[in-house]
């Protein structure tokens, strides 16, 4: 997936996600924070991961699966298997 290193949208999502995970870690270490603060932040991380996954799926479809000159039935099948795992 050499095209991903140029995709600012995906890079920005990853950077945001790293910041959110770091914030969860800091909140856990802060004795003044309560469990609900951590749960709220983890929910935000989950949303960010889902958003990143959606962007990655879209990028993969656009750059590898839906290109008529590079269509590969095996790759499509592998992609569907991956989607099934993601939905579990």
Task: For the chain, 88 residues long, give each residue's pLDDT as a single digit of tens.
Answer: 467 888 899 999 999 999 999 999 999 999 999 999 999 999 999 999 999 998 888 888 878 777 767 667 787 788 788 877 776 6
Structure-token match 């856990």, residue found: 28
pTM (two decimals): 0.75
What is the model's pLDDT at position 54?
86
Domains in the chain, ordered, with CATH?
2-87 (1.20.58.1000)
| Cα distance between residue 80 and residue 82, in whole Å | 5
What is the model's pLDDT at position 79?
79
Structure-token match 């960010």, residue found: 48
What is the model's pLDDT at position 88?
64
Distance of CA 15 to the CA centre of its chain: 11
- 3-state secondary structure string across the chain: CHHHHHCHHHHHHHHHHHHHHHHHHHHHHCCCCCHHHHHHHHHHHHHHHHHHHHHHHHHHHHHHHCCHHHCCHHHHHHHHHHHHHHHC
Cβ within 8 Å of residue 5, ≥6 positions away = 11
């Amino acid at each position: 997936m050499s095209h991903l290193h140029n995709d600012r949208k995906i890079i920005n999502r990853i950077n945001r996600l790293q910041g959110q995970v770091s914030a969860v870690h800091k909140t856990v270490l802060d004795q003044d924070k309560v469990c609900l603060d951590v749960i709220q932040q983890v929910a935000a991380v989950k949303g960010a991961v889902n958003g990143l996954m959606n962007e990655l799926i879209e990028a993969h479809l656009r750059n590898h699966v839906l290109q008529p000159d590079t269509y590969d039935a095996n790759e499509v099948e592998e992609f569907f298997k991956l989607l099934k795992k993601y939905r579990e």
